[in-house]
Structure 1
Amino acid sequence: MALNPDLRAALATLAATPHLLVALDFDGTLAPLVERAEDARALPASGTALRALAALPGTTTALISGRALDSLRVVAEPPEDMMMIGSHGAETWTGPDGAPLALTPEQAGLLARAVDVVERTIAAHPGTRIEFKPAGVVLHTRTATDDVADSAVAAARAGLEDLADLSITDGKRVLEISVIKADKGQGLALLRETTGATAVLFAGDDVTDEHALRTLLPDDVGIRVGPGGTAARFTVASPEDFSEVLSELVSLRTQVHPAN
């Protein structure tokens, strides 16, 4: 991919910031989308670039994902000190001193009722499946036919109508249900504050990433990976193209802040 000149210029400006935060979605951004979520892995070029960025002075790397943190650790294989936001902002990992997620009894009861709705939905819709998260449950429809997927989402939404205080979000062939109202924008704000970043690169491919993209400041760079309406200043077509963006950022940042 020939890098967009405007994007390269924005990366060059970003690379000169004193403390850079590179916070990235995983599925569809660092890793191509796959039918089985557990099979996803970051593209080698992206993984190499992210490790190189993490080794540079004044540079923090982080992952902001819809996955639960335990799932994200398995597929992303992050270094122990990498900050992570999981479950669309409901789970955070900023270091070993951070408190684990704990639900109130009311939240736990609400989650159990939501799980029951999704379990009944997948039982009636072949090709759909369920994913359990610490603060939520997910209906996956990627392996179902389009008509079955549409019917499953409609059935799940209908079953959840009477359950108040749920956060329900449509993603790429998923319906995310959480008992904690959080999003990636809130997660990115936490990372920015925790690291003291002077500028941020954020990239994502799904509607849930738009929450983070809409929080970016003038000195930040937002990138949408793949098609779709977006608040990002820049778009690239695929995770493979985004690998080139990361490699370019490594080169530019190294010139300004060489590794020790």
Structure 2
Amino acid sequence: MSRTESPPRPLDERLPTLRGRLDGAAELLVCLDFDGTLAPIVEDPDAAAPTERNREALAALAATPAVTTAVVSGRALRDVRARVDGPSIYAGNHGLELAREGSIAVHPVARKRAIRIERICSILETALASVPNCRVENKRLTGTVHYRSVPDAAEPIVRRITNTVVERFGGDDLELSPGKRILEIGPDIPWGKGNAVELIAADEPSETVPVYIGDDVTDESAFRAVEPDGIGIRVGDDDEPSSASCRVDSPTEVADFLAWLGSTGADLVDRTGSPAAPPVEAQ
């Protein structure tokens, strides 16, 4: 059962509850968004990079026994893997691509509709070419219209043109969804970051505590996937309702929490410990 949406409480107010959950855990699964979570939001998406403290804290956490780490991003899988090292699992394109255990799985419906995404992005590049600082990104399985640096007066034009093009050429196969100063174009299927997190969590021991940290509308399905038994943490200083139970203000505070997980949190999990596996007899 998902947590009822309400404004998430500051993380430091929830630490006693977090300690209690980790103290009864066999293992810990930590899933993170990239932009706005590990990396600050920047005007040029190509310039996004995790903060040094987040990079170090994530690497240390990934090397900690009884902890599995994953990055779950709206970026294409190849893109996000090139921007951050350490996690054993990566999900790209809002979970439509999943890399784990040396293999990559792609949602079959998204794969079939990639040609239509490419066509839509090409049309939008032409239709929006006159809008200053508007950028169309083809991520193969999804597309993104970036308007963070677009003049305020032109934003309604970007939204109107994008809606019109997707409705006309996408039909029932594609859908348009909003993000933070972006519009996301993807296959109209019941799949998102939450589904990817559920798949990842299904491979973990039953007493694993899942954690998800993200900052955008597309992260809400992932919060619902981990709450209320796990821990959902929204990044941002607003009081909007969310399926996450906790919040931090910025990627700086994400790094603080990751460092806490790598020390105090991991110690709580290790103290419980899962039963040791029986020895395997030599053949």
Q: TM-score, normalised by structure 2?
A: 0.82
Amino acid at match of 2:50: A
Aligned to 1:15: 22
Aligned to 2:185: 177
Aligned to 1:251: 263
Confirm or deny that 1:31 pairs with 2:45: no
Number of equivalenced pairs: 254
Confirm or deny that 1:107 pairs with 2:113: yes
Aligned to 2:234: 224
Relative distance call for 1:255 and 1:148 in structure 2 (3 A) is: same
SS class of match (2:74): coil
Aligned to 1:213: 223
Aligned to 1:186: 195
CA distance in 2, matches of 1:205, 1:213: 10
Amino acid at match of 2:230: D
CA distance in 1, matches of 2:180, 2:44: 13
CA distance in 2, matches of 1:34, 1:231: 26
Q: Is the 8 A contact 2:61 2:67 kept in 1?
A: yes
**Identity, % of aligned pairs?**
33
Give CA-to-partner distance per residue, 1:55-96, whole Å, 9 cap, x none: 2221100001000011102222x23x6201111111111132
Relative distance call for 1:51 and 1:10 in structure 2 (3 A) is: farther
SS class of match (2:203): helix
Q: TM-score, normalised by structure 1?
A: 0.89
Q: Is the 8 A contact 1:117 1:160 kept in 2?
A: no
Q: Give how far 1:105 is off.
A: 8.3
Amino acid at match of 1:239: P
CA distance in 1, matches of 2:252, 2:230: 22
Amino acid at match of 2:128: I
Relative distance call for 1:251 and 1:177 in structure 2 (3 A) is: same
Q: Is the 8 A contact 2:128 2:161 kept in 1?
A: no
CA distance in 2, matches of 1:109, 1:38: 23
Amino acid at match of 1:9: P
Relative distance call for 1:218 and 1:136 in structure 2 (3 A) is: closer
Consecutive unaligned residues in structure 1, runs of 5 or more: none
Aligned to 2:83: 75
SS class of match (1:124): coil
Aligned to 1:126: 132
Aligned to 2:159: 153
Relative distance call for 1:46 and 1:95 in structure 2 (3 A) is: same
Amino acid at match of 1:75: R
Q: Give how far 1:219 is off.
A: 2.5
Q: Is the 8 A contact 2:194 2:223 kept in 1?
A: yes
Amino acid at match of 2:90: M
CA distance in 1, matches of 2:75, 2:111: 23
Indicate the larger mover: 102-111 or 175-184.
Answer: 102-111
Q: Give how far 1:242 is off.
A: 1.8
Relative distance call for 1:106 and 1:42 in structure 2 (3 A) is: closer
CA distance in 2, matches of 1:104, 1:9: 42
Aligned to 2:254: 242
RMSD of aligned residue pairs (Cα, Å): 2.2
Confirm or deny that 1:143 pairs with 2:149: yes
Give CA-to-partner distance per residue, 1:163-203, whole Å, 9 cap, x none: 22113211111111113632111111111112346211101
CA distance in 2, matches of 1:247, 1:93: 25
CA distance in 1, matches of 2:198, 2:11: 28
Amino acid at match of 1:134: R
Confirm or deny that 1:202 pairs with 2:212: yes
